[in-house]
Structures are given as structure tokens and as C-alpha cells.
Amino acid sequence: MRVIVVGAGVLGTMHAWQAVERGHEVVHLERESEARGASVRNFGLVWVGGRAAGEELATALRARTLWEQIGARVPGLWFRPDGSLTVVRTEAELAVAEQALKLPDAAERGYRLLDAAETRAANPALRGRHLGALLCERDAAVEPRLAQPALRAALEATGRYTFLPGREVRDVVGERAVRDDHGQLHEGDLVVLCTGAWLGGLVRELAPELPVRRVRLQMMQTDPLDEPLTTSVADGDSFRYYPAYGGTALDALRAEQPQTAVAAEHRMQLLMVQRQDGGLTIGDTHEYDQPFGFDVVEDPYEHLAAVAEELLGRPLPRIRRRWAGVYAQCTDTTRVVHREQLRDGVWLVTGPGGRGMTCSPAIAETTAHLANL
């Protein structure tokens, strides 16, 4: 078959990967010269630990397996099964971690509760004061700014993949073709639209009642830290954000330990991941009300830096990058993704929210199955 994939973010690239893996030919269109949206403006986390029980966790676990398999074949992804530590600093946070160990799927998530000494042994860079950490052994990471180019290079090596950047799709023609803004018609046997947070224009025409919203985030990256961060790191506010941790202990945490005003206003948690060059990616915020601001706000960065320095027990390296990004999220946040067959041979796949980097290989695998690739 000849498959037309629109959108070269991680979700579109993984759909191209699944099609080529099944022996098909792929023409891959991207309106930018490279992916520039949420797929490169994230942590690169393959985040299993906090996922909701059921379909979301199953999708994340399958994706984790696929990421490892793909990473073994594409070293440029820099896939690393380093796990994560959610560091607890109060008794209320510790109670949430202890309750998480009692989940029926705790073993699948790779949960273990470490005391303060075990936490420092697992990640010596965490020299700050804390009570311990919830370890999730199944979490992993890749390099978000390198992932799509590395995957495309592997796809191009098959001889069955063509990447066409700078092509904005203006129309879906019939059931198996698209026309780009150069006037060129691209015909195939299947069209898969993975347009990310681009929800206007053609997407609105094709799916006017699309149950997907846009979410804006802010993040930053430091100069290289002079030591390895052996795991990804989260703070106790992550318990408030990820659905796995719901329960009586979390209710008590919210009642006894309110977030700071700035963290609550910007719906914040701390995640921290070390990049290949040693720098730290730190975030993030969540903004849901549109229109979004055109500028970045300083208060959240100051909060994130303060929490990161408390966990590390030392000043951060110089901040060298700050950025904002926008991703698409299903309005029903219990859904992993919005997947819709618009016409007989045309599928739209969007709205994974903050799960996109984690779940994209498994989401693409399911699309391939449903479309009989």
C-alpha cells in the first residue's frame, strides 16, 4: 500500500514507522521544515508511572516496550530506561506514595518506595532534604529534539519512505488523496492526518465538532549540570496532576498541604530530565483558557528553579533556554487519543495531550490495526 501521513511530529512519525514496518510505502508531509510543535517542546519522557489504570496504562506499557525496541534499532533516539523518582518532602506526600504501592497494578508500573538514603544512592545528584521517593522503574526517556530526524533517517534507509517538508495540506481529495499548497496531489491507499495542535483550517472543515482542546505549557533548559542525573525527577505536585495517584491520601494532601499560589495558578508540577549534553529540561505549567498569552511569564520559572534547587541541594546551572508550547488534548481527559475515520480511507488522529511522547508508538500501532495496514 501507499500511505499518506500528514504531520511530522512524534505521532505522525510513529504512524509512518508502523506503515513502513508492515512493508508499505509512505509519503510524509509536514508544513514546516521540521517538526516545531509539542513533539520537540517536551521532556522526552516515556512516562508510565502516573498513568490512569485501564486503557491509558495499557497503552503506555505497550508504548514503553515499543520505544525500547525502536531505540535498539535507532541509537540516535538516545533511549534510556532510567526510571523516575518522585521525591517526597512531607509526611502527606509520603502517604500518597505509600498508598500508590497498594494499587493492584503497582508491580506493572515498577513502583518501589525508597527512603532518603536509598533515594540518594539511586540518584546521587539529589542532595537536598527529603523523606524519600517513589521509584517507577518502567519510566524512560528519549531526546525529543533528535527523535524525529533519527526516526526519519532510519525510515529513509528502507527506500520506501519520502519526506516532503514545507508542504501544507489544503484539501483532502476523495477518500485517498491530499492536495498541498504547492498544488501537488498526493494519491495513495490510505491518508492519516496527525496534525497536532493545528485544529483550525482544514481540520475544522473535516471535523467541525472535534472534541479536542489546546493546552499551553512553559518550560526551560539549563546549561550542563556537572554530574549525571541518573533518573528523571518529579516533585510531590506530580501526585496532584497524574491520575494514578487519586485516593484518600491525595485528598488529605490537597487539604493539608495546599499548593503555593503560583503553582496553583499555573497548574504546575516539577519534572526534570537531563539531556544528552548534560543540561536539565525543567517544567512545566498548564494553561487551558484561550486566547493564550503571546509571552512567557516569569513567576512559574522562579518557582520551578526554587523547587529544583531544593531537590538538588545546590544552585541550578545558568538557564539558557525558555519556551512555550501548545499541544492538543481530548476534552474528555480520560481518553488516550481522539481517533476518527473521516472517510473510507481517511483517518484523523490527534489529542493525546501530555501523553503524546509516551504513547505515540502504541497509538500508531492501534491505528495501523484498525486501518488494516
pLDDT of residue 37: 92
Instruction: Kindly report, residue by residue over 250-275, the tens digit of the pLDDT.
Output: 999 999 999 999 999 999 999 999 99
> What's the pLDDT at 81?
97
In this prediction, residue 142 has a pLDDT band, given cuts at 50, 70 and 90, of very high
Domain boundaries, the chain: 1-81+140-211+335-373, 84-137+212-330
Residue holding cell 471535523?
A: 207
pLDDT band for position 103 (cuts 50, 70, 90): very high
Using a cut of 0.85, tell me whether the model's pTM lies above it: yes
The average confidence (pLDDT) of the chain is 96
pLDDT given for residue 117 in this prediction: 97
The residues, ordered by sequence, that sit 6+ positions from 324 with a Cβ below 8 Å of its Cβ are 41, 216, 217, 218, 219, 292, 296
Integer Cα distance of 332 and 202 in angstroms: 23
When pLDDT is cut at 50, 70 and 90, the band that residue 110 belongs to is very high
**What is the pLDDT confidence band of residue 187, given thresholds at 50, 70 and 90?**
very high
How many residues comprise the chain? Answer: 373
Architecture of domain 1-81+140-211+335-373: 3-Layer(bba) Sandwich (3.50)
Q: Does the N-terminal peptide bond of residue 149 adopt cis geometry, omega within 30 degrees of 0?
A: no
Q: How many CB atoms lie within 10 A of CB 22?
A: 11
pLDDT tier, 124 (very low <50, low <70, confident <90, very high otherwise): very high
Name the band, by pLDDT with cuts 50, 70 and 90, for residue 346.
Answer: very high
Q: Decide if 150 contacts 104 (C-beta within 8 A).
A: no
- What is the predicted pLDDT for the residue at 194? 97
pLDDT of residue 211: 97
Report the phi/psi class of residue 319: left, alpha or beta, with left for phi > 0 and alpha for psi in -120 to 50.
Answer: beta
CA 170 centroid distance within chain: 27
Contact between 342 and 207 under an 8 Å Cβ cutoff? The reply is yes
pLDDT tens string 111-122: 999 999 999 999
- pLDDT recorded at residue 185: 98
Model confidence pLDDT, tens digit, residues 43-63: 999 999 999 999 999 999 999
Long-range Cβ contact pairs of 364-369 (< 8 A, separation 24 or more): 364/11, 364/14, 364/15, 364/17, 364/18, 365/18, 365/62, 365/66, 366/59, 366/339, 367/15, 367/18, 367/192, 367/339, 368/15, 368/18, 368/19, 368/22
Let me know: does 207 contact 340? Beta carbons within 8 Å.
yes
CATH code assigned to 84-137+212-330: 3.30.9.10
**212-222 and 319-330 strand pairing:** antiparallel
Question: DSSP secondary-structure letter at 318?
Answer: P
Give the mean pLDDT of 92-105.
97
* Cα→Cα distances 38→35, 85, 175, 334, 354, Å: 9, 24, 29, 20, 9
Cell of 302: 522562579
